Structure formats: structure tokens, C-alpha cells
Amino acid sequence: MINHLKESYPDKLVHVVYGASNDKDLNEIVSVFPENWNYYFTSFKNVRSFTQLELIKKTAYLTANKEYFNSSNNAMKKAQLSLDKNSILVV
């Protein structure tokens, strides 16, 4: 998906709202995230969700623009406010 977005929309700024279950290898997943995209990491209402603090700790090494939320609704709102005609939102 990442390669497809890069190839199909090379001039677009990509905003990604991302949350994951804590049984996923988050380091492996985010290691392929492009550094020039914007990320909105979020926990969600499920006992298996990474908490906001866990997301912060596990993605601290990323130099990309990133923000953290304890609500997927808040992450979506913030991402939507950041969009313009040259942006794409990936959830």
C-alpha cells in the first residue's frame, strides 16, 4: 500500500491515522513508514489496543511528524483539520 500511494500520488502529503492491537509487532510495522508523512497514532476502545503511552514509547525513534491520541475520534478530527487539496488521509 505504501508503494502504491507513493507511485500514484507522488505530489500529495499523506496523513495516516494509525492504531494497532498490542499483539502486533509495532516496531516492524512502523519501520516501513515513510518519514515525510504525518502520523496520528491512536489507542482505541479495546483491551488489546496499544495505550497512548505505549505508542509514544514504541515510536519515539521516528523522526516523522507525529501526534498521539487516546481516542480514534480525536485523531481523526485532528487529521481532517490538517488536510488540504494536496493531501491524502489514510486510516
Rounded Cα gap, residues 19 and 42, in angstroms: 5
**DSSP bridge pairs for 14:** 88
pLDDT band at 11 (very low <50, low <70, confident <90, very high): very high
Read off the C-alpha cell for 58.
514504541
pLDDT band at 80 (very low <50, low <70, confident <90, very high): very high
Rounded Cα gap, residues 72 and 78, in angstroms: 10
Helix spans in the chain (H): 2-8, 26-30, 52-59, 72-81
- The 10s digit of each residue's pLDDT in 32-71 is 999 999 999 999 989 999 999 999 999 999 999 999 999 9
pLDDT band at 81 (very low <50, low <70, confident <90, very high): very high
E strands, the chain, where? 13-18, 38-42, 65-69, 87-90
Residue 36 region, left (φ>0) first, then alpha (ψ -120 to 50), else beta?
alpha
- With a pLDDT cut of 70, the percent of the chain lying above it is 100
The pLDDT, as a whole number, for residue 36 is: 94
The pLDDT, as a whole number, for residue 40 is: 98
Stretch 13-35: mean pLDDT: 93
